Structure 1
Amino acid sequence: MNASRTALTMGAALATVLALAACGGGKIGETPGGTPQANNKKLALLPGVKGEPFYISMECGAKEEAGKLGYELSVQAPEKFEAALQVPIVNSVLAAKPSGVLIAPTDDTALGTPMKQLTSAGIKVVEVDTKLKDRTVATSAISSNNKQGGQLAAQTLAKLIGEKGSVLVINTKAGTSTTDARAAGFEEEIKKYPNIKYVGQKYSDNEPSQAANIVSAQIAATPDLAGVFATNLNSGEGAAAGLRNANKRGEVKLVGFDASPKQVDGLRNGDVQALIAQDPAGIGRQGVQQVVNALDGKPTTKEIETNLVAITKDDMDSKKEYFYRTSC
């Protein structure tokens, strides 16, 4: 081949490379096709809401495990537990192209399409705490056995009220997989007690003030109200306020879910009679393990459920390891 033809061939090849780079290439951490690179060591955690001790504890466990495995974990959470606030965060993470995402979807249906876009981009997705109805999207889902937690709450509340009287459930938002499972487990279990009347569940929209109003209204409508089960932190704090406002603190027994510092204080001072605690740090650790297994081509577990524990004032000192954190 003569020199002129060699120069033309090299020039054409260079032009092709530049064209490919311009069309497909772009962000650090991506292949030319826009998918995460094999050596991408970035993970993202998308909790359900910012600043909540449960999710902070999860973050601590996830960051610890990610560091051990040689990954960097970033965290982005919405100001409220709302799909409309979480979807833009998912879209932002999609543009950043981490290799894997751990997410607590704030709605079991509305987050389906955004999460599918993550997997279509080659990003491994693991659900932590909450999950979609569509079980085909995530590689793995790690959560507490929430139905079991609801059953444990029913057993605990039944004992506290002497197995008689009316009981109410205050749930957060309809369509939240975890709290719906807790309410379902509670309802199933409480019906085993013939002298307890289950008056149903009401939704607080995750607002403590609404939970307080619900309790106040229920006390007025149900003179023999003996107990309340609040399915999450905000509902529990609001229910406690409602009982204080009605001068029913301690008289109407309250079982809460989770073990944030405020809830632990409430248990200690008598605002709450029992807490059903989860293991959020363990959920975070296992979430990272599952997403890294998926990235390494190792086997993953589709569904992992962690156990819960009931804590009362009498045994709280022996169960301190279940208390949630406010910082890592």
Structure 2
Amino acid sequence: MMRIGACMLVSLVLMAGLLNGCSRKGEIRTAPERQTNVALIVKDRSGEFWKTVKMGAEAAAKEFNVNLMFDGTDSETDASEQSALVEKYVAYGANAIVLASEDYVKLAKAVEAADRKGASVIAIESEVDSPKVRSFIGIDNYEAGRQAARKMSEVAGAKGSFVIIGHSSGDRNSAQREKGIRDEWAATPGIKIEETVYCGSEKGSCKKKTEELLMRQGQLDGILALNAAASAEAASEIEAMNRQGKVKLVAFDNSPEELEWLQEGVIQATVIQNPFSMGYLGVKTAVDAINREKVAKRTVTETKVIDAESMFWSDNQKMLFPFVQ
């Protein structure tokens, strides 16, 4: 029987992608580390924001030799489906879950169950009410609300009547942004917030709410929209009613629709986040947690207020279009 020599054995292993070549005499070989499995679970797997989060996560997965599993719900309202996804990927053998939670309270049980089974949980974009979350990575929503209010004061002349349009009355991010707006304007006598309305996730609902507001409020000077869907649909209705420029609109996020409205002067400014960074840092932090390294309990990612002029500045372009850098 033909005897297989040491170098041939190494060549066979090379073909399997496990070693880089024949070892030198006396060199100790060690088996490669097992690949880490990380599940990224987002709120809306088809949304532009979450696609950018995924790109950042994929960049980190490549850098840190991670098997990345991407999933999410079809809309930003289904906490029960997200809980089921967390359970599913823990059962699949995920060493960590990077979670953009639908609900601050409702995902806590799923997070704690994952932790009991040995999967580290890193929260991105939205927090979860559980001490078992190893780290949170996202913006300071309260400060982002204050930024939006300051920009609206600038474009509207620090006076007038305004409304706030949010996604859901139970959405923690929106609640913190609204509080930031109200606190920023608390000592500004010339500004009045007429009301806050929530339009939910059904397509077209924010457009309808905007129409109702513009009809009901009469001389309305501005709208602050707290998320991408509310922002784009409010802009659409402002233009449809020929109120662009007359009703100022300060938005959140940077969907393609919002950027078009911004260039056309229907949106005066928008508060942008860095979803690529959230995805990248989410996976990197998950790897550190799996390796039992110390991780920061909270990492605040960047926000910027951009308008039709500053959107073309190079630093802002990097945040708006990270995939072309």
TM superposition score category, shorter chain reference: 0.7 to 0.9
- Residue 162 of structure 1: how far off its partner (Å): 0.9
Aligned twin of 1:80: 75
Q: Matches of 1:40 and 1:125 in 2, distance apart? A: 18
Which residue of structure 1 aligns with residue 284 of structure 2? 289
Residue aligning to 2:14: none
Moved over 4 A (4+): 324-328
Distance 1:66 1:143 in 2: 19
Displacement, 1:54? 1.3
1:105 maps onto 2:101 in alignment: yes
Query: In 1, Cα distance between the equivalents of 2:324 and 2:87?
Result: 27
2:213 is aligned with 1:218: yes
What's the CA shift for 1:325?
A: 6.8
Among the aligned pairs, what percent are the same residue? 23
Q: CA offsets per residue over residues 167-196 of structure 1, 9 Å max, x none?
A: 111110223222221111111112232101
Check the 8 A contact 1:228/1:255 in 2, yes or no.
yes
In structure 2, the residue corresponding to 1:85 is in which secondary structure? helix
Match of 1:240 in 2: 235
- Match of residue 196, structure 1, among 186, 191, 200: 191
Name the SS for the 2:133 alignment partner.
Answer: coil
Instruction: Tell whether the 8 Å contact from 1:207 to 1:238 is kept in structure 2 after alignment.
Output: no
Residue 115 of structure 2 corresponds to residue 119 of structure 1 = yes
In the aligned structure 1, how far is the partner of 2:151 from the partner of 2:290? Answer: 42
Q: Does the CA-based 8 Å contact 1:56-1:326 persist in structure 2?
A: no
The CA deviation at 1:58 is: 1.1
SS in 2 for 1:139: strand
- Could you tell me which residue of structure 1 aligns to residue 13 of structure 2? none
Provide the secondary structure at the position in 2 that maps to 1:234. helix
Q: Work out which of the residue numbers 266, 288, 305 in structure 2 matches 1:310.
A: 305
Compute the displacement of 1:224 (Å): 2.2
The answer to whether the Cα contact below 8 Å between 1:127 and 1:140 also exists between their aligned partners in 2 is yes
The residue that corresponds to 1:322 in the other structure is 319
Q: What TM-score comes out, normalization by structure 1 length?
A: 0.84
Q: Paired residue for 1:95?
A: 91
* 1:272 matches 2:271: no
Distance in 1 between residues matched to 2:292 and 2:80, nearest whole Å: 33
Q: 2:42 aligns with which of 44, 47, 59?
A: 47
- Aligned partners of 2:322, 2:230: CA distance in 1, in Å? 19
Letter in 2 for 1:93: Y
Q: Structure 2 counterpart of 1:113, which letter? A: K
Q: Which runs of 5+ in 1 are unaligned?
A: 1-37
Q: C-alpha offsets along residues 88-130 of structure 1, whole Å, 9 cap, x if unaligned? A: 2222212212111100110111111112111111001000000
The amino acid of 2:273's aligned partner reads Q
Q: C-alpha displacement at 1:242, in angstroms?
A: 2.1
Q: CA RMSD in A?
A: 1.8
The reply to whether residue 230 of structure 1 matches residue 225 of structure 2 is yes
1:5-43 Cα shifts (integer Å, max 9, x gaps): xxxxxxxxxxxxxxxxxxxxxxxxxxxxxxxxx935111
- In 2: Cα distance, 1:101 partner to 1:210 partner: 32
CA distance in 1, matches of 2:285, 2:302: 18
CA contact (8 A) 1:191 1:198 kept: no
Counterpart in the other structure of 1:298: 293
Q: Is the 8 A contact 1:229 1:256 kept in 2?
A: yes
Q: Is the 8 A contact 1:260 1:324 kept in 2?
A: no
**Structure 1 residue 324: deviation in Å?**
5.0
Contact 2:166 2:174 (C-alpha < 8 Å) held by counterparts: yes
2:246 pairs with 247, 251, 272, which one? 251
Note if contact 1:259-1:324 (Cα within 8 Å) is conserved in structure 2: no
Kindly provide the amino acid, as one letter, of the partner of residue 67 in structure 1. Answer: K
Q: How far did residue 213 of structure 1 move?
A: 1.8
What is the total number of aligned residue pairs between the two structures?
290
- Cα distance in 1 between the residues matched to 2:101 and 2:271: 22
**Which residue matches 1:35?**
none
1:170 and 1:270, CA in 2 relative to 1: closer, same or farther beyond 3 A?
Answer: same
Matched, 1:128 2:124: yes
Alignment partner of 1:79: what SS?
coil
Letter in 1 for 2:39: A
CA 1:237/1:215 → structure 2, altered by over 3 Å: closer, same or farther?
same
Q: Distance in 2 between matches of 1:240 and 1:154?
A: 18
Deviations 1:107-163 (A, max 9, x none): 1111111121111110010000001133x0210000111111110000001111111
